Each structure stands twice: as structure tokens, then as C-alpha cells.
Chain A
Amino acid sequence: MPFTNDPLDLDSLPALEQAPLTPVSPRLAPCQAVSLLGRWALVTLLVLFFPVQHEAAAEWQLVAATAVALVGLAAVGLGWVEARRRAYGVREHDLIYRRGLLVRRTQVLPLVRLQHVETLSNPVERAFGLVRLACFTAGGRGADLLLEGLPASRAEAVKQHLLARLEGTSPSSSEAP
């Protein structure tokens, strides 16, 4: 096959910043809130009931626990707002996931790099009907892209589309959701 090296028209490249993104499920916010509440409640209880030997320190235990609980509530509030702003996009050749409130991060995974796909869900996520989609590439130690907050049916559709790409079938034969 003759080697070609044609220059790319930079103005005609698909622009990542203009890619249309779909918000994740609105149920992700309460799901995140429940998970975060559970974690922070555990930390608060630990601080409250930790056996402190020093009497002076023990007097401050309730104050410390209240402070931890307030920080936890703030984290839950921020988590709620952040979850409502998450979005994802499936393009013909890549998968995009945007997350973050103060620090916004847009991650792009070209589909040719995909090696395998997994769906995961913990009991809280199952209660809200949500699924995580983990995408792995060659040589990586963990998931290279973790798409959280997809409804189970949508996650399955995205997974099937990605698997179809992995198997080398025509992308047009499996419609991107």
C-alpha cells in the first residue's frame, strides 16, 4: 500500500469544545448525596465517640463532631450541584465525559484505544437505577474513563455500541445513543 501523508485541514477538525454533550441522569445528584451523607455520618460518629483520654480534649469532642458534620453537609451540597452539571457525549470516534464544579475536567477517550468495557453498580446506585461504565485501554492499571450516572438502559446501550466498535463492526450499524 503506498504511503501517504496528506496534511490535515486544521479548520475542519471536529472541535472538542463544540461537541454536544448529554447531561447524566438527574438521579445521580440524590444518589451522590446519599453516598456522601453515609460517609460523612460515619466520620462524624467516629469523631463523636472516639475514646479520648484527655479531659480537656473530650470537652471539645462535640464541637469537633459538629464541625465535621457541617463540612460534610457542605460537601454533600457541592456534590449535588456538581452531579447536576456532569455530562457525556458519544461521538463517532470518541467518548467524552465532563465533570467538576470549581475545576471542570473534560476527558476524551478515542474508541480505537478501547480494550474492554465494564458496567458496575453498588447497592445505592442500584436503588436509584444507575450504572457506572468503566472503559479500559491497553496497558492501563485501572479504568481510563469512568462514566458515572447513566440510567441502566442507557448504560447498556452505550456499552453495546462500544462493544460493537471493539468487534470492528461498522459504527453506522449500531446507532450511538
Chain B
Amino acid sequence: MNPPGPETADARLARWQRLSPWAVGLLLITSGLSLIRQHLPLLLGAGAGLALVERVGLRELALGGALLLLLAVLLSLLYYRRFRFRLEGEVLVIQKGLFEHREFKVSAAHVQHIAVHQPAYMRPFGVVQWQLETLAGEASRIELPGIRREIAEALGRRLRGASDAAQQAAAEDAGEADEAPRVRFAITPGALALHGLTSRSVYVVAAMLSPLVQPLERWVHDHLPHLDLRAWLPASAPLAVALGILAVVAALALLSVLAAWWRFHGYVLRDEGDRQVQVSGLFHRQEQVLTLSRLQVVEWVQTGLGRLLGRGYLVCHQFGALGGGEAAEARRFLVPGLSSAQGRELSAVLWPGLSMRQPLARVTRLYRRVLFWRLLLGLAAALLGLGALVGPASLAPMTWGLLAAGLLPLAAGLAQLRWLALGWAREGDYLRVRQGLWGQRTSLFPLRSLVSASVQQSWLQRRRGVATLRLHLANGRVTLPFLACDDAYALANRLLASVEADQAA
């Protein structure tokens, strides 16, 4: 009789498992970093931190901090003791809770997305953060905050394996041999730098840093009074302003490139049949798995600068990816630093049969006229507001006249550009909708991905025989305004029929 060998990770999952013992310390670090990240602007902003130190005293503050740390350690230990998980067949069971005991059960059939994160401080211990999302989306996210990598891999394999079993069986029946995973896309340093420059992270960086500007200015003023900054500025005021703007833009560009390196360094997208696996991150390694059968919408995104440089990125949406803005977008399955050709090629992999070569149809010209009037009214109101703010006497009557006359061509030009930017095309079983004036976002999705549809008509639209079609998708809403009424209803009927036909199949 052979002696029992070391138990495999798969076998261990059938019994209750705890988090890694390192997870206690790592939980503290993760929570501490998260707290600092969330409250740093509050503490530094408007000198609130300094005022707190002066009022309470440094020693008392340190004592309070030590007590809080002790409490956090005790709570983390309790959290560790209460947290356990195991696999019961194809169901992941998690029990946790400090003061209120909770039990979560997730069936493999409902798993939509699995992500594995490994911050730099977890690497020496071989511990990872493991996250799972069900079809209910981000609100349903369940996290194992510190487990051994082999356990994480076994867990992912088991949960994915259960849902893929049917597909694999079908592939075997069809005589298809297992294909080795192949690299679909790997980012180059140049493409990464271009992604940093052309992505929207520049706005995120600017928003994150904006609360720090005032404290920094005060600190420089208080601690470095010998640096006579005014002496460094050029004598000409416009030149100083231009140089200042240039410096801010350069700093933001540099920071967004660094952010891109932080997030997407070493980005590799592997094709594993129905699964697309991406791994990236300079210090914080992140692995995300996208199951193609769960994919709902792919977005091809190009910022204004990205369009000039011919660069963009793809965002893959599953259910529950509503809202969240640019910061949330970075957490999604995002393929960065693509040229237009690479974007088309990869879209065709994600949506077989989609070429993106069919020209986009435009909505009716009435939309352009409506846009013109809206813009003209908005601009006129802004000009009147400006007049009330600075006073009519602040500018010569001729200047006011020129400004007023300029509104007309400006509104007409913007309306024309916005009308041209909006377009849609149906390519076989797919729909492509492009929106955006400067930066553009093109939604690519199969007709069967529709969640619900609505047709809207104002009294003007009813008189002119046009309608606005709103398509509700897994990632939000796509609007096609002022379509010819027949087109709007025909498209809605086709979409609804595709949803039903897909379900029947």
C-alpha cells in the first residue's frame, strides 16, 4: 500500500479552508492603504491634518494611533478566525462576519468573472487576493482577501471548469483537439507610453491630485521661503501663464504615463479558447479572466488625442458593469494601447464575423437642426451670463456684437460635427453605435445582448415622423436619437426577435 502523498489543492478545497496566516498582516496593510488613499485629501486638504496635530498634540495623536492599530490587529485576528470557505461540489461556500455571521453560496453556473490580484507586498508570501463576480455584477463581488496562489488557481479552475464542462464536451465531440493558449496581444513600451498619454487616466490623475495643490502651495510658502518663485517667472504675464499651463499639462502627461506603467506593465492577453486571460501590473500583478460566452458589449474607446495619434483601447463589458466613471473602467477587462488596426482585429476575435468596415449610417438631419438650436440657446445664455457678470461696459459694443455674431457659426459648426460623429450600422447579427464629438466611444454588441428597449417620441418627433431609440445593455444605455420612425421600430423589432431567437436556440 502506497503512503498517502501530499494532498492536492483541489482535494483540500472540499474541506473548510482558512485564509493564509499572512492574511492578517496583509489585511492590515491593505485596509490601511485603502484608508490612507480615501482620507488623504481630507487630511491634507485645507490644512485639516496640521490643524488636528496642533489641537490634539503629537504625543496624544501617536498614542491614539497605537491604540487604533492594536484594535485593528485584534479585529483582523477575529476576522481571520471567522473567515472560512470550501467547495461543496460546484458551489463555493463562504462563512464570515465579525459581529454578524454571514454565509454566501455561489454556484459555478452563476460565476461571471474571476480576478486575481497580487500587490507587491503579497508576492514574497505567495498570497493573492481572489475576487469573484456573479451575473448580478459588481454589487455581488465576493473577495477572499489573502489565500495561497495554488488554492486560488485550483478554485478558479474548479469553478470555471464546471461551467465550461458542457462546452468542452461539445468541442471533444466535434473532434477538436485542445489548443495550447496563445498570446493574442502583448503591449510594447511605446504603446504603453502612448496609452498613458491618450487614455482618460490623465483626468483621473488630475482629479486625485487637485485637493493636494493648496497644501503643497502652503508648504512651499512656509518651508521654502528662500525660494523666491516669483523671480523665476518671466516678465511677460501671457508667457508666464502659457508656461504654467504647459508645465501642468506636462506633469499630468508624465503622471498618466506612470499610471499606465503601474497598471499595464507587461500586459499580455492570452487566448484560451472560450477564455481570454490578461495579466498585467508593475508591482500589483493582476490576472483577469473573461469568458467569451458571458461577454455582452465591447467598446472601442478613443480620446481626442488618441484619435489624432491613431490609438485607443477596448473595454469588455459583462452584466452589472453600470456606471462608475473612468476610475471604474480601469478595473474592468480593458485591452490598452491598441492601434486602430489592432482594435479591429481584436474586435473580430471577440465578436467573430464583425469586420467594422461597413460605413455608419447617420440619424436624420432634423437632429442636426435640433442640436443647432439647443447649442445656440445655450451659448446665448452663456454670453448673457458673461455680460451680467462683467458688466456691459467692460467690453466695447463692437466686441459684444462680434461675440454675438460668432455664436451662429459656432453653434452650426458644433451641431454639424456632433451630427457627423453619431452613427450606427448593423453588420449581420451585430450592431455598432458610435458616439462622441472629440473623444469617441463605439459600442459593438450582438443584437441578442439587448436587455430592454424603449422608443420615445416628443410631439415634435411625432409630427416629423422620427423617434429616439434607447437600447439598454449590460453596461448601460445606448441612444440613437431622431431615427426615422420606421427605422427605429424595425431595429427594435429585429433586436427583440434576436433576443428571443437566441434564447430558443
Given A105-B456, A145-B452, residue A16 in contact with residue B500 (CB < 8 A): no
Q: By the criterion CB–CB under 8 Å, are B322 and A141 in contact?
A: yes
Q: How far is the CA of A4 from the CA of B505 in the complex (A)?
A: 9
A138 within 8 A of B: yes
- Of B135, B170, B456, B499, which one neighbours A110 at CB under 8 angstroms? B499
B452/A105 in contact, CB under 8 A: no
B459: chain A residues at CB < 8 Å are 102-103
CA distance A5 to B457 in the complex (A): 34
Identify B454's interface contact among A107, A110, A139, CB under 8 A.
A107
Interface size on A, residues (CB 8 A): 31
| CB of B405 closer than 8 Å to a CB of A | no
B501 with A8: CB separation less than 8 A: yes
A127 at interface (Cβ–Cβ under 8 A)? no
In the complex, A41→B375 CA distance in Å? 36
In the bound assembly, the distance between CA atoms of A1 and B80 in angstroms comes to: 48
Interface residues contributed by chain B, number (CB under 8 Å): 38
Residues of A near B501 (CB, < 8 A) are 8
Closest to A144 in B: B452
Q: Residues of B contacting A145 with CB < 8 Å?
A: 452
Interface residues of A in 91-107 (CB under 8 A from B): 93-94, 100, 102-107
Within the complex, the shortest CB–CB distance from A145 to chain B, in Å, comes to 7
Q: Tell me what chain B mostly uses at the interface: helix, strand, loop, or mixed.
A: mixed
Q: Is A17 an interface residue (CB 8 A)?
A: yes
Q: Which of B135, B429, B455 is in CB contact (< 8 Å) with A138?
A: B135
How many angstroms from the CA of A93 to the CA of B503 in the assembled complex? 10
Checking B135, B458, B492, B505 against A139 with a beta-carbon cut-off of 8 angstroms, the contacting residue is: B135
Minimal Cβ-Cβ distance residue in B for A91: B496
Complex CA–CA separation, A140 to B457 (angstroms)? 25
Cβ of B492 and Cβ of A16 under 8 Å apart? yes
Give A104 to B462 CA distance when docked, in angstroms: 9
**A104 touching B474 in the complex, CB below 8 Å, given contacts A16-B493, A16-B496, A112-B500:** no
| Residues on A with beta carbons closer than 8 Å to the beta carbon of B259 | none
Contacting residue for B493 out of A14, A100, A112, A113, CB 8 A: A14
B145 within 8 A of A: no
Q: Does the CB pair A144–B451 fall under 8 Å?
A: yes
Contact A138 B457 (CB under 8 A): no
Evaluate contact between A108 and B139: CB separation under 8 angstroms. no
**B155 CB-CB contact with A under 8 Å:** no
- Closest Cβ–Cβ distance, residue B482 to chain A (whole Å): 13
State how many angstroms separate the Cβ of B299 from the closest Cβ of chain A: 16
Closest beta carbon of chain A to B455's beta carbon, Å: 5
Please tell me if the beta carbons of B319 and A139 are within 8 angstroms of each other in the complex. Answer: yes
Which single residue of chain A is at the shortest CB-CB distance from B447?
Answer: A8
Enumerate chain A residues within 8 angstroms of B489, measured Cβ to Cβ. Answer: 15-17
**Given known contacts A15-B489, A104-B456, A110-B499, A139 and B494 CB-to-CB distance under 8 angstroms:** no
Q: Give bound CA distance, A15 to B497, whole Å.
A: 10
Query: For window 138-162 of chain A, which residues contact chain B by CB distance below 8 Å?
Result: 138-141, 144-145
Residues of A within 8 A of B474 (CB): 138-139
Known: A103-B457, A107-B453, A144-B452. A139 touches B137 (CB 8 A): yes
Q: Once the chains bind, are B451 and A13 in contact (CB under 8 Å)?
A: no
Measured CA separation A94–B489 after assembly (Å): 15
CA gap between A128 and B23 in the complex, in Å: 57
- Cβ–Cβ contact A105 & B322, under 8 A: no
Given contacts A17-B489, A138-B137, 17 further A-B contacts (CB under 8 A): A1-B170, A4-B505, A13-B493, A13-B497, A16-B493, A94-B496, A103-B457, A105-B456, A107-B454, A109-B451, A112-B503, A113-B451, A138-B135, A138-B320, A138-B451, A139-B321, A140-B322
A-B contact pairs, 5 of them (CB 8 A): A10-B494, A106-B456, A110-B500, A112-B503, A113-B499
- Kindly list the 10 A-B residue pairs having the minimum CB-CB distance in the complex, ordered from nearest: A139-B320, A139-B319, A139-B137, A107-B454, A112-B503, A109-B452, A110-B499, A105-B456, A13-B493, A103-B458
Q: Which residues of B does A touch, CB under 8 Å?
A: 135-137, 139, 170, 318-323, 429, 450-459, 462, 472, 474, 489-490, 492-494, 496-501, 503, 505
Give the interface of A toward B (CB within 8 A).
1, 4-5, 8, 10, 13-17, 93-94, 100, 102-110, 112-113, 137-141, 144-145
